[in-house]
Amino acid sequence: MEISIAQVAEILQGTVEGNGEAKVNRLEKIEEATEGSIAFLANPKYTNYIYDTQASGVIVSKEFTPEKEIKSTLIRVEDPYSSFAKLLEAYQQMTAIKKVGTEQPSFQSESATVGEEVYLGAFSYLGENVSIGDRTKIYPNAVIGDNVTIGNDTVIYPGVKIYANCKVGNNCVLHAGVVVGSDGFGFAPQEDGTYKTIPQTGNVIIEDHVDIGANTTIDCATMGSTIIRSGVKLDNLVQIAHNVEVGKNTVIASQAGLSGSAKIGENCQIGGQAGITGHLQMANKTIIGPQAGVPKTIKEEGKVWFGSPIQEHKEFLRTSIILRNLPQLMERVKQLEKKL
Amino acid sequence: MEISIAQVAEILQGTVEGNGEAKVNRLEKIEEATEGSIAFLANPKYTNYIYDTQASGVIVSKEFTPEKEIKSTLIRVEDPYSSFAKLLEAYQQMTAIKKVGTEQPSFQSESATVGEEVYLGAFSYLGENVSIGDRTKIYPNAVIGDNVTIGNDTVIYPGVKIYANCKVGNNCVLHAGVVVGSDGFGFAPQEDGTYKTIPQTGNVIIEDHVDIGANTTIDCATMGSTIIRSGVKLDNLVQIAHNVEVGKNTVIASQAGLSGSAKIGENCQIGGQAGITGHLQMANKTIIGPQAGVPKTIKEEGKVWFGSPIQEHKEFLRTSIILRNLPQLMERVKQLEKKL
Amino acid sequence: MEISIAQVAEILQGTVEGNGEAKVNRLEKIEEATEGSIAFLANPKYTNYIYDTQASGVIVSKEFTPEKEIKSTLIRVEDPYSSFAKLLEAYQQMTAIKKVGTEQPSFQSESATVGEEVYLGAFSYLGENVSIGDRTKIYPNAVIGDNVTIGNDTVIYPGVKIYANCKVGNNCVLHAGVVVGSDGFGFAPQEDGTYKTIPQTGNVIIEDHVDIGANTTIDCATMGSTIIRSGVKLDNLVQIAHNVEVGKNTVIASQAGLSGSAKIGENCQIGGQAGITGHLQMANKTIIGPQAGVPKTIKEEGKVWFGSPIQEHKEFLRTSIILRNLPQLMERVKQLEKKL
C-alpha cells in the first residue's frame, strides 16, 4: 500500500517542502532509511543524518533550519515525535493481522462461553467454565485453565498458560510463554530436613490495560489474590511471587523479581534485573535503578534509588565515585601513616 | 460447601469461644477477611487486626488474651499456624480439580505406556517409549520426548517440555513452561572466531518430591546426568546448567542461576537472583543471600554468605556499613591530610 | 551398538595399549566411568582418576607416562580432548533421533511452503505464507507465525513461539520455550499517569549457525529489525530487547539482559546475569564478567570488564581486595586520628 508524501502531510496536518508526489510505503529510522520510506527527526543528536538519509520523506519540526542541502522531502509539523508515533499507529492498524474465528483442532469445554468476534487459534485450550470476552484473541497453543475469565479486546499470544480461577481484564496483552497462576513458592521445613508444600489456594487478578512480556511468570496467592492493577506494564522474564500487589501504571523492566507479599505503589518504575524483598511496601512514584536490591519498605514518594542494597541516587553516585577510587584512598592513608 | 465454625473447631481439636453456629466457606487473611471466612492469628505483629477483622472465625493460640472486644468467633488451638495450614490443605483437597482420563486430540506414540488413573490433557504429546506412572497428570500442550520416564503421582503442568531420555520421579510437580533436558551451553572456539557445538549427549534425572517453578530451565549433561535430588524445591525462572547436581532438600529461589558442573550440597538455601560459578562444590546447609555471587567452592557446612563476590554474613554487614559511609571516611582522611 | 576398543583407536588414528578386544558402547567421564565405557584424560588435574577408573578404555596423550598400574586399555592420540570430542560427535550422530515427516494433528496454512525431508511434530502450527527450508525440524507444539521464513537444517524445539514476519537462517537451533519477535517494551507516559503503547512494527532477523537456549526471549524492533548475527550463541533465559544487534560469534551466558538498541560487537563474551544498558555500543572481543552492569559504550576492543558498574578487570581486582578489607582501612584511619 503506497501513498504520496502529500497525503502523509495531510494526515499529520503538516506542510510539505519538496516533492509531495513521491510515493512511500513504510516507516524507517533516519539513520537506516531507504528510498520509499518516511523517517523523522526529533532528537537534535540525529540532525547530521538528515543530510545523507535515503528516506523519501522526513518529518521535522516547524522550527528546523537545515545547514546544508537535503535531498528528502520535508514534512513540517509541531511535534515530529508525536506525529511519527501517530503514523506508526496508523501503519500498525493497517498492517495488523485481523484474526477472527476458530481454527481447528482446538479444545473448548462445553461449559466455556465465548464472546463475539473472538479468535481461537489451533491447539488453544479452554477449560471448564472459562469465559472469554468480545474481540479477544487466543493464539495457538495457549492454555486457559478452568474457571478463568478474560475480558474484552485482550490478546493472549501463543503458548500462554493461565491456571484455574485466574482473572484477566479488558485490553490486556499477554505475550508468548507468559505463565499466570502457578503455585507460590511456599514450603514449610520439617524436622527431618524435608519440606512440606504449603497449599496455594488463591489466584491472580490482572486488571485492565496490562501488558505482560514474554515468559514472565506470576504466581497465585497462598490465599486471596496476587493483583496486577490497571495500566501496569511488565517486560519479559519478570518474576512476580505470591500475594504481590503491583499498583496502577507501574512499569517493571526485564528480569526484575518481586518476592512474596511485596506491595508496590502506583506509577513506580523498577529497573531491569532489580530484586525486591518480600513483605515490604514501596511508595508511589518510586524509581528503582537496574540491578538494584531493595531490602525494606520505602515510605517516601517519588524518590530515586540505586545499588544493592539501595541508596538514594545522589548518595549512590557519591559513594560510587569513591568506590572507583578506593586504591587512591588507600594510598593516601599509607602516606599519612608514613608521615606519622 | 459451608460448614459451621464448631465443625472447624472439631477438625482442629480446638475450643470455640463465641457463636459456633456461624457458617464459613473459605479461608482468608486476617487483614483482608470478609464475612463467611476463617482467618488465623499467629504472628503478634498482626494482633491489631483481630479487633476489626470481618472474618466470621479466627484461629488463635490458647494463650491469646484479647485487649478489646472481638466480634469474630474464636477457635483456640495449640499452634494456630499449623492448624491453619491443616485447614488450607483440607480445603485444597476438597476444591482440587480431579482430572483423570484422556482428552482428545492428544498424541500418544504406540510404544508409550501409561499407568492407571492418569490424566492426559488435549494437545499433550508422548513420544516413543515414554513411560508414565499411576495417577500422574500431564496437562494440555505438555511435550514428553522419546524414552522419557515419569513416575507416579507427578503433575506436569501445561506447556512443560521434557527432552528425550530424561527421567522424572514420583510426587514431583513441574510448573507451566518448565524445560528439562535442553542442550548444555558448550561450544569450542575455533581459529576463525566461530564456535563448534560440543554435543550434549547426557540427560537430566529428577528424583522424587521435587517441585520446579514456572519457566525454569534445566540443561542435560554433556555426558552422564544433570541431577536434581529428592526433595529439591526450585522457584520460577531458575537456570540449572549442564552436569549440575543439586543435593537433597535444597531450596533455590527465583531467577538464581547455577553454572555448569556445580555440585550443590544437601539442605542448602540459595537466594533469588544469586549466581553460582561452575565447577565448584557447595557444602551442606550453606545459605546464600539474594543477588549474591559465589565464585568458588564453599567447604564449611552451615555458613551464611552474602554479597557479590560473597563474604560471610557478619563480615558482609560490617563492610556494608562502612560502604554506606564512604563519603565520611573520605572526609576524615582529608581532615587528617590538612592537619599534617 | 558395541564396538571394540581397537575399532575406536582406528577411528581416532591412535595406538592401543592393553586389551583392544574389549567391547565398549558409550562415553563417560573418567571420574564416573563404568565398565563398557570409553573415557579420556586431557586435564592433568584428573590424572589421579586414571588409576581407579572402571572405564574399559581411556584416551590419553602420546606423552602420558603412568606412575602406577592402570587396568583400563589405553588409546594414545595427539590430542585427547579433540579425539574425545570427535567420538562424542560420532556417538551423537549415531544415536540422534532422525525425525522426518508430518505427525497429525498439526496445522499448516494453505499458503505455507515446506522443504524436503522436513519434520513437523504434532500440534505444530505454520501460519500464512510461512516458508520452511529443507531438513528443518519443527518439534511438537511450536508456533510459527504468519510470513515467517526458516532456512535449511534448522531445529525448532517444542513450544518455541516465533511471531509474524521474523526470519530464521540455516543451521540454527532454537531450544524449547524460546520466544522470537514479541513486542519491544515501549510505552509513552501520558499526562494522566497512564502509558500509551508505542507500536512495535519491526521484526527479528536471526542469521545462520545461531544457537538460542531454552526460554530465551528476543523482542522485535520498533521499526526495522532486531538482529542476531551469524554464529551467535545465546544461553537459557537471556533477554534481548527491541532493536538490539548482536555481532557475529558473540556468546552470551544465561540470564544476561541486553536493553533496547544496544549494539554488541563481534566475538564478545557476556557473562551470566550481566546487564547491558540500552543505546550503547560494545567493541569487538569485549569480555564482560558475570553479574556485571555495563552503563555506557565500550570503545576499545578486546578489554575485560567486571563489576556493576564495570571496571577494567585489573582495577576491579584491586578495588575488590580493598573492599574486602574496608574494616581494616577504617581501623587505620581511626589510629591516625588518635595519634593526631
Cell of A93: 492498524
Tally the domains of chain C: 2
Outline where B202-325 has alpha helix (H).
Answer: 313-324
Contacts of C237 in chain A (CB under 8 A): 215, 237
C300 lies in some domain: yes
Contact A121 C125 (CB under 8 A): yes
A279 and A187 in one domain? yes
Query: Which of A95, A123, A150 finishes a domain?
Result: A95
Query: By the 8 A CB rule, do C289 and C305 touch?
Result: yes
Q: Which residue of C has its CA nearest to A141?
A: C141
Contact A141 C163 (CB under 8 A): no
B261 lies in some domain: yes
State residue C1's pLDDT score.
Answer: 66
The Cα of C191 is separated from the nearest Cα of chain B by a number of Å equal to 33
Contact A291 C311 (CB under 8 A): no
Instruction: Give me the count of residues in chain A.
Output: 340
- Nearest by CB to A231, which of C195, C237, C293? C195
- Please report the sign of the dihedral spanned by the C-alpha atoms of residue C2, residue C3, residue C8, residue C9: positive
Q: pLDDT confidence of A94, banded at 50, 70, 90?
A: confident
Contact A182 B157 (CB under 8 A): yes
Contact C217 A177 (CB under 8 A): yes
The Cα of A311 is separated from the nearest Cα of chain B by a number of Å equal to 8
State whether residue C43 is helix, strand or coil. Answer: coil
Contact C241 A254 (CB under 8 A): yes
B210 lies in some domain: yes
Contacts of C333 in chain A (CB under 8 A): 333
Please identify every residue of A annotated as catalytic.
Answer: 242
Sheet holding B73-77, edge to edge: B15-17, B73-77, B57-61, B37-40, B26-27
Cell of C206: 536471526
Task: Give the global pTM.
Answer: 0.93
Question: Which amino acid, residue C303?
Answer: K
State whether residue B145 is helix, strand or coil. Answer: coil
Mutate to test the interface with C, among A215, A228, A313 (most CBs of C within 10 A): A215
What ipTM does the predicted assembly reach? 0.92
pLDDT top residue among B281 and C223 = B281
Mutate to test the interface with A, among C156, C161, C318 (most CBs of A within 10 A): C161
Contacts of B159 in chain C (CB under 8 A): 141, 159, 177
Mutate to test the interface with C, among A123, A325, A340 (most CBs of C within 10 A): A123
Q: pLDDT confidence of C73, banded at 50, 70, 90?
A: very high
C35 and C174 in one domain? no
- B75-129 pLDDT, tens digit per residue, is 999 999 889 888 888 888 877 778 999 999 999 999 999 999 999 999 999 999 9
Rounded CA Rg of chain C? 26
C-alpha angle C75-C79-C83 in degrees, rounded to nearest 5: 65
State whether residue B63 is helix, strand or coil. Answer: coil
The span from the CA of A205 to the CA of A166, in Å, is 6
A91 and A165 in one domain? no
Torsion (CA) A202, A203, A204, A208 in degrees, nearest 10: -120
Report the b/e string of C262-280 with b at 16+ CB within 10 A: bbbbbbbbbbbbbbbbeeb
Instruction: Work out the end-to-end distance of chain A between its first and last CA atoms, rounded to an integer number of angstroms.
Output: 82
Q: Can you say how many angstroms the Cα of residue B175 is from the centroid of all Cα atoms in its chain?
A: 10
- C93-131 pLDDT, tens digit per residue, is 877 778 999 999 999 999 999 999 999 999 999 999 999
Contacts of A336 in chain B (CB under 8 A): 333, 336-337, 340
State whether residue C292 is helix, strand or coil. Answer: coil
State residue A264's pLDDT score.
Answer: 98
Three-class SS string for chain A? CCEEHHHHHHHCCCEEECCCCCEECEECCCCCCCCCEEEECCCHHHHHHHHCCCCCEEEEECCCCCCCCCCCEEEEECCHHHHHHHHHHHHHHHHCCCCCEECCCCEECCCCEECCCCEECCCCEECCCCEECCCCEECCCCEECCCCEECCCCEECCCCEECCCCEECCCCEECCCCEEEECCCCEEECCCCCEEECCCCCEEEECCCCEECCCCEEECCCCCEEEECCCCEECCCCEECCCCEECCCCEECCCCEECCCCEECCCCEECCCCEECCCCEECCCCEECCCCEECCCECCCCCEEECCCCEEHHHHHHHHHHHHCHHHHHHHHHHHHHHC
- Nearest by CB to B185, which of C29, C253, C337? C253
Contacts of A158 in chain C (CB under 8 A): 125, 143, 145, 161
A286 and A211 in one domain? yes
Give chain C's mean pLDDT.
95
A208 lies in some domain: yes
Contact A215 B215 (CB under 8 A): yes
Query: Which of B44, B77, B95 finishes a domain?
Result: B95
- A1-32 pLDDT, tens digit per residue, is 688 999 999 999 999 999 999 999 888 889 88
The span from the CA of C256 to the CA of B185, in Å, is 14
Nearest to A66 by CA among A52, A79, A50, A81: A50
Chains that touch A (3 or more CB pairs under 8 A): B, C
Nearest to A197 by CA among B157, B217, B38, B213: B213
Outline where B184-325 has alpha helix (H).
Answer: 313-324
State whether residue C86 is helix, strand or coil. Answer: helix
Q: pLDDT confidence of A221, banded at 50, 70, 90?
A: very high
Query: Which of A67, A95, A123 finishes a domain?
Result: A95
Average pLDDT of B154-170?
A: 98
The Cα of A179 is separated from the nearest Cα of chain B by a number of Å equal to 7
- C127-154 pLDDT, tens digit per residue, is 999 999 999 999 999 999 999 999 999 9
- Nearest by CB to A141, which of C143, C217, C222? C143
Torsion (CA) A303, A307, A308, A312 in degrees, nearest 10: -30
The span from the CA of C261 to the CA of B274, in Å, is 27
Contacts of C217 in chain A (CB under 8 A): 177, 213-215, 236-237
Q: Which residue of B has its CA nearest to C82?
A: B188
Q: pLDDT confidence of A55, banded at 50, 70, 90?
A: very high
Query: By the 8 A CB rule, do B132 and B117 touch?
Result: no
State residue B84's pLDDT score.
Answer: 87
The Cα of C105 is separated from the nearest Cα of chain B by a number of Å equal to 8
A305 and A167 in one domain? yes
The span from the CA of C241 to the CA of B242, in Å, is 26
- C160-218 pLDDT, tens digit per residue, is 999 999 999 999 999 999 999 999 999 989 999 999 999 999 999 999 999 999 999 99
Residues paired with B60 in a beta bridge = B76
Instruction: Work out the end-to-end distance of chain B between its first and last CA atoms, rounded to an integer number of angstroms.
Output: 82
B90 and B165 in one domain? no
Contact C159 A159 (CB under 8 A): yes
- C283-312 pLDDT, tens digit per residue, is 999 999 999 999 999 999 999 999 999 999
DSSP string, C212-274: E-TT-EEEPPSSSEEEE-TT-EE-TT-EE-TT-EE-TT-EE-TT-EE-TT-EE-TT-EE-TT-
Q: pLDDT confidence of A257, banded at 50, 70, 90?
A: very high
Range of the domain at C164: 160-309
Average pLDDT of C314-331?
A: 90
State residue A1's pLDDT score.
Answer: 66
Please identify every residue of B annotated as catalytic.
Answer: 242
C327 lies in some domain: no
E strand residue ranges, B62-120: 73-77, 101-102, 107-108, 113-114, 119-120
pLDDT at B251 over 80: yes
- B27-82 pLDDT, tens digit per residue, is 888 988 999 999 999 988 899 999 999 999 999 999 999 999 999 999 999 999 88
CATH number of C214's domain: 2.160.10.10
Contact A187 B233 (CB under 8 A): yes
Please identify every residue of C annotated as catalytic.
Answer: 242
Cell of B196: 563448534
C207 lies in some domain: yes
State residue C340's pLDDT score.
Answer: 79
The Cα of B197 is separated from the nearest Cα of chain A by a number of Å equal to 26
B81 lies in some domain: yes
The span from the CA of A53 to the CA of A36, in Å, is 12
Chains that touch B (3 or more CB pairs under 8 A): A, C
Chains that touch C (3 or more CB pairs under 8 A): A, B
Q: Which residue of A has its CA nearest to B106?
A: A123
Contacts of C257 in chain A (CB under 8 A): 237, 254-255, 272-273
The residues near C321 (Cβ < 8 Å, ≥ 6 apart) are none
Judging by beta carbons within 10 Å of its beta carbon (0-12, 13-18, 19+), is residue A281 exposed, middle or buried?
middle
Query: By the 8 A CB rule, do B157 and B176 touch?
Result: yes
Contact B326 A332 (CB under 8 A): no
Beta-carbon pairs below 8 A across chains A and B: 171
State residue A16's pLDDT score.
Answer: 96
Contacts of B339 in chain C (CB under 8 A): 340
Contact B146 C97 (CB under 8 A): yes
At C320, give phi and psi (nearest 5°).
Answer: -60, -40
Helix C313-324 crosses helix A313-324 at what angle (to 10 degrees)? 100
State residue C195's pLDDT score.
Answer: 95
B329 lies in some domain: no
Query: By the 8 A CB rule, do C41 and C58 touch?
Result: yes
Question: Which amino acid, residue B45?
Answer: K
B271 and B195 in one domain? yes
Residues paired with C61 in a beta bridge = C77
CATH number of C19's domain: 3.40.1390.10
Cell of A270: 523498577
The Cα of A313 is separated from the nearest Cα of chain B by a number of Å equal to 12
Contacts of B1 in chain A (CB under 8 A): none
Average pLDDT of A150-159?
A: 98
